[in-house]
Amino acid sequence: MQKRKLGKSNLEVSALGLGCMGLSFGYGPAVDKQQGISLIRAAVERGVTFFDTAEVYGPFTNEELVGEALAPFRDQVVIATKFGFNIDPNTGKQAGLDSSPQHIKEVAEASLKRLKTDVIDLLYQHRVDPNVPIEDTAGAVKDLIQQGKVKHFGLSEAGVQTIRRAHAVQPVAALQSEYSLWWREPEAEVIPTLEELGIGFVPFSPLGKGFLTGAIKEDTQFDKTDFRNIVPRFTPENRKANQAVVDLIGKFAQQKKATPAQIALAWLLAQKPWIVPIPGTTKLHRLEENIGAVAVELTPEDLRQLDIATSKIAVQGARYPEELQKLVGR
């Protein structure tokens, strides 16, 4: 497995990480705990060293799963988790955002316990809290870094002004946001800002929440607890319209003797040397397929052709329902 550094932070990770959310939350029922542990450990055995979780996944259960799975390999892996939501400890329900310094410190202590570790390698603010100056949030993480409880600071789905302000207080190692062949908005402002400041980029949903694999069709039925049921981009009519993107990636995949998922991941890896996608999966064969993307070489001509072809297709439907869209890009 190739390694990459997230910007100037010197945080070295495998070229592909594993997004662990879907093992516990978001895409239907949680997997059996032993199955989740086996999948995470299979990733370690195959060279993956970068694992992504958050207190809100579950809530809490995903951190516990990741902590238990990685305990035997703790010194070989990088664990990223996130704070920023106000979660009722009794019901597990979210009640808005909270990135107040006191709350951050409480969440970090609880995450350390669940993750069975004495240090969090990368601690992200999950969503920007408009009620707390980002300087205060960055300052709280800086304190945790000075105390040796956290190694690196990250932001998720933040806008460029927030990134600059946070970075001035505590250097930001990585930004985690959605980026893929069918969500290219970060190219306008975010990626140039990250390049300028020396911040790594960790794209989540690099396979378009599964759509770019080609496994989801117009008539695919999602589990009732699946987040995609409320995503405008996943209405049956939008899926039908967006199939053109998948068909196009599929043609490239045939030429390269790869799968559509591998082309989508290889495309991301080819954008910048400090980009580390974190595809998630619950299946071992998909994990192996994703890891195979690291060996897929796309030439400058391949990339040019992919750019030209995909730019002609207008993707239909927003990537979030309206109330969730309000939380991004602030």
Q: Over the chain, what HEC string results? A: CCEEECHHHCCEEECCCEECHHHCCCECCCCCHHHHHHHHHHHHHCCCCEEECCCCCCCCHHHHHHHHHHHHHHHHCEEEEEECEEECCCCCCEEEECCCHHHHHHHHHHHHHHCCCCCEEEEEECCCCCCCCHHHHHHHHHHHHHCCCEEEEEEECCCHHHHHHHHHHCCEEEEEEECECCECHHHCCHHHHHHHHCCEEEEECCCCCCHHHCCCCCCCCCCCCEHHHHCHHHCHHHHHHHHHHHHHHHHHHHHHCCCHHHHHHHHHHHHCCCECCCCCCCCHHHHHHHHHHHHCCCCHHHHHHHHHHHHCCCCCCCCCCHHHHCCCCC
Q: Catalytic pick from 27, 57, 124, 179? A: 57
Strand partners, 154: 124, 174
Tell me how far apart the 2 most distant CA atoms of the chain are, in Å: 55
Spacing of C-alpha 283 from chain mean position: 18
pLDDT at 91: 87
- Active-site annotation holds for 57: yes
3-state secondary structure 269-323: HHHCCCECCCCCCCCHHHHHHHHHHHHCCCCHHHHHHHHHHHHCCCCCCCCCCHH
pLDDT at 279: 98
**Dist CA 301 CA 309 (whole Å):** 12
For the domain 3-211+271-296, what is the CATH code?
A: 3.20.20.100
CB 6 within 8 A of CB 52: no
pLDDT at 89: 81
Tell which residue, 85, 109, 116, 87, has the closest CA to residue 99: 85
Place of tokens 């969503």: 127
Half-sphere exposure of 207 (CA within 13 A, CB side): 27
**Dist CA 12 CA 169 (whole Å):** 22
Q: Which residues of the chain have pLDDT under 70?
A: none
Q: Distance between the two ends of the chain, CA-based, in angstroms?
A: 35
Place of tokens 């998909």: 286
pLDDT at 90: 84
